[in-house]
């Protein structure tokens, strides 16, 4: 029997929870949700209450909860060999198989996969690879990294600095130097009156070019972006955005880091967001859907173009001196292979496209005309409702009213998890890709 009060008390006294109002929690004003089990698209707490998980945890449990074949793959590997490191060319069968399939699956001309444990650390690795690559090419000045306002790339020192949301920086001495910011391509919020999507995309590309020229192209190493803006408000790019951005990057020899942590492995209705938008990344970051979060695993995937420079420098610089104890952890690799088997066998990218279209159509039909709804948007199994106080002027609510958080709470009171996105009054939906149409109907209801 679970002793709920005892667990809650222990937790309150000892766990430093992410993104939690610390004093309210320790003072007992808010209670923990003790999550006990998960099956399919639902989780159950210790009191027996069941929730429909409309956000797949943190948009990561793509294959759904409780998939026994993933648990069994993890157990099999743990019994056989729970751990060995991957330094100095040690490997396992699962690791080699996973890397081979990732290089084949990934968009662009990818060559090698470096493993970490979180999207944040993988983006940290990407920044180091950009610096390393340009040092090795004799372009020691070409180090600045451009990210977008409202972009999200993690919470560690460099990834947190690349994140373009100021509340992740406040009181924590971020961003560090060398990280630049350019505009977010959210048409509803950023377009000028009468501007077309193409014209707005062109304006964003022109701004990027102007920034690169102002800084000096010889100082700009990379541009990092999510194919579809995620945590900053779930906003698919306007028409023409990616080809126009890509052209600017190629013109100035600036690497493109596609942060596919959310978009990767089917979320947008294609296997990768880069596939959907015809992007040609030099570096790709994946995490979340890679193992559907059954165990922590992330990867920085490196193109042939970048890798070649790294390899050729070996006689001069010696070994590639970057790595973690858990890089290429065999249990992570086994979990990823089992998850990707499901993603491929069940055609989850295609399912995400068709069921995502249904989800968006239902959300629009039910909510688009609501007087406090400004925009209903989405792509694949990724959707959002943005609330406004005035539809005509698109005016936001007073942030103190916490409208998004209250609507999310109201959904939760009805046993639905839909995430209040941390920026603006935006309710996010990113269900497991296995959610059925009947379950989507239940979520909408
Ligand atoms: N990149 C993107 C696009 C993300 O959405 C996230 C997390 O939500 C991260 C990176 C950071 O990943 P993690 O939380 O695993 O460090």
Atom of ligand 1 nearest to the CA of 154: 11
The verdict on the CB of residue 152 being under 6 Å from ligand 1 is yes
Using the atom order of ligand 1, give the atom closest to the CA of residue 120: 16
152 C-alpha vs ligand 1 centroid, how far in Å? 7
H/E segment holding residue 350: helix 348-367
- Residue 164 has a pLDDT of 98
Contact between residue 329 and residue 94 where contact means Cβ atoms under 8 Å apart: no
Locate the ligand 1 atom nearest the alpha carbon of residue 296 and give its number.
15
Measured in whole angstroms, the distance separating CA 56 from the mean position of its chain's CA atoms is: 12
| pLDDT tens string 6-29 | 999 999 999 999 999 999 999 999
The residue whose CA is least distant from atom 1 of ligand 1 is 153
Ligand 1, pocket-test mutation among 156, 262, 273, 384, most atoms within 8 A of CB: 262
**Cβ–Cβ < 8 Å for 432, 390:** no
Q: What are phi and psi of 81, to 5 degrees?
A: -160, 105
Instruction: Give yes or no for residue 118 having a pLDDT over 60.
Output: yes
Q: Cβ contacts of residue 331 below 8 Å, gap of 6+?
A: 74, 77, 78, 82, 83, 295
The arrangement of strands across the sheet holding 35-39 comes to 35-39, 42-45, 50-53, 416-417
For residue 156, the ligand 1 atom closest to its alpha carbon is: 16
Which of the four pLDDT bands, split at 50, 70 and 90, describes residue 384?
A: very high
Q: What is the pLDDT of residues 169-183, one digit of tens each?
A: 999 999 999 999 999
CA distance 372 to 25: 31
Q: Residue 113 forms beta bridges with which residues?
A: 301
In whole angstroms, what separates CA 199 from the centre of its chain?
27
Percent of the chain at pLDDT above 90? Answer: 100
With a 6 A CB cut-off, is 154 part of the ligand 1 pocket? Answer: yes
Ligand 1 atom closest to the Cα of residue 288 is: 15
Which atom of ligand 1 is the closest one to the Cα of 59? 8
CA 318–ligand 1 middle distance (angstroms): 31
Q: How far apart are the first and last CA of the chain?
A: 34
Which structure tokens are listed for 215?
């800084």
Q: Verify whether ligand 1 is closer than 6 Å to residue 267 (CB atom).
A: no
pTM above 0.90, yes or no: yes
Question: What kind and span of H or E run contains 315?
Answer: helix 314-317
CA distance 415 to 379: 24
CA 415 to centroid of chain Cα atoms: 25
pLDDT digits (tens, 9 = 90+) for 321-331: 999 999 999 99
Where are any strands of DSSP class E within 190-278? 220-225, 255-259
| Ligand 1 pocket test target in 121, 126, 152, 272 with most atoms within 8 Å of CB | 152
Q: Is residue 352 lining ligand 1, measured as CB closer than 6 Å?
A: no
The neighbour count for residue 387, using CB atoms within 10 Å, is 21
Residue 165, CA distances (Å) to 42, 92, 200, 391, 424 in order: 30, 39, 22, 25, 11
Question: pLDDT averaged over the chain?
Answer: 98
CA–CA separation, 389 and 445 (whole Å): 23
Q: In the structure, what pLDDT confidence band is assigned to residue 395 with cuts at 50, 70 and 90?
A: very high
CB distance 383 to 360 below 8 Å:
yes
Q: Cβ distance 83 to 123 under 8 Å?
A: no
* 19, 56, 154: residue to mutate for ligand 1 pocket, most atoms within 8 A of CB: 154
* Residue ID of nearest Cα to ligand 1 atom 13: 119
Q: Residue 388 above 80 pLDDT?
A: yes
Strands of 319-382, DSSP E: 373-378
Has residue 1 got a pLDDT over 50?
Answer: no
For the segment 316-339, the average pLDDT, to the nearest whole number, is: 98
Pocket test for ligand 1, best of 153, 227, 285 (most atoms within 8 A of CB): 153
Q: Quick one: pLDDT at residue 156? A: 98
Of the candidates 404, 369, 400, 398, which has an alpha carbon nearest to the alpha carbon of residue 386? Answer: 404
Residue 66 Rama label (left phi>0; alpha psi -120 to 50; beta): left
Structure tokens at 339: 């998850």
| Gap from CA of 285 to ligand 1 centroid (Å) | 9
pLDDT of residue 2: 61
Give residue-wise pLDDT tens across range 258-290.
Answer: 999 999 999 999 999 999 999 999 999 999 999
**Is a pLDDT exceeding 90 seen at residue 153?**
yes
């Amino acid at each position: 029997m679970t002793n709920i009060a005892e667990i809650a008390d222990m937790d309150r006294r000892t766990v430093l929870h992410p993104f939690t109002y610390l004093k309210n929690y320790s003072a007992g004003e808010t209670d923990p949700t003790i999550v006990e089990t998960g099956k399919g698209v639902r989780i159950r707490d210790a009191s027996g209450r069941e929730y429909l998980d409309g956000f797949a945890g943190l948009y990561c449990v793509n294959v759904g909860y409780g998939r026994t074949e993933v648990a069994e793959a993890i157990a099999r590997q743990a019994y056989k060999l729970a751990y060995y490191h991957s330094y100095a060319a040690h490997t396992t069968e699962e690791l080699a198989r996973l890397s081979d399939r990732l290089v084949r699956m990934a968009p662009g001309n990818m060559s090698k996969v470096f493993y970490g444990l979180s999207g944040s650390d993988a983006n940290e690795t990407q920044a180091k690879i950009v610096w390393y690559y340009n040092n090795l090419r004799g372009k020691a000045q070409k180090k600045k990294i451009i990210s977008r306002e409202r972009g999200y790339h993690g919470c560690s020192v460099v990834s947190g600095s690349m994140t373009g949301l100021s509340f992740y920086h406040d009181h924590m001495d971020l961003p560090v130097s060398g990280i630049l910011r350019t505009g977010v391509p959210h048409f509803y919020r950023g377009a000028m009156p009468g501007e077309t999507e193409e014209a707005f995309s062109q304006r964003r590309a022109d701004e990027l070019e102007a920034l690169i020229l102002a800084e000096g192209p010889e100082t700009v190493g990379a541009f990092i972006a999510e194919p579809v803006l995620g945590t900053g408000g779930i906003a698919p790019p306007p028409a023409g955005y990616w080809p126009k951005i890509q052209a600017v990057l190629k013109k100035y020899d600036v690497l493109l880091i596609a942060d596919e942590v959310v978009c990767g492995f089917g979320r947008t209705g294609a296997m990768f967001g880069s596939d959907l938008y015809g992007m040609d990344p030099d570096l790709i970051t994946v995490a979340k859907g890679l193992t559907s979060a059954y165990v922590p695993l992330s990867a920085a995937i490196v193109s042939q173009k970048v890798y070649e420079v790294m390899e050729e420098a070996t006689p001069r610089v010696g070994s590639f001196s970057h790595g973690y104890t858990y890089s290429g952890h065999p249990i992570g690799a086994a979990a990823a292979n089992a998850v990707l088997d499901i993603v491929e066998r069940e055609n989850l990218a295609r399912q995400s496209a068709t069921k995502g279209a249904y989800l968006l159509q239902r959300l629009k039909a039910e909510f688009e005309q609501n007087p406090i709804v400004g925009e209903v948007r989405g792509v694949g199994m990724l959707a959002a409702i943005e609330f406004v106080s005035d539809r005509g002027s698109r005016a936001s609510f007073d942030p103190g009213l916490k409208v998004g958080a209250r609507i999310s709470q109201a959904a939760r009171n009805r046993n639905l998890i839909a995430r209040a996105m941390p920026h603006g009054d935006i309710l996010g939906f990113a269900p497991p890709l296995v959610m059925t149409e009947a379950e989507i109907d239940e979520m909408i209801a």
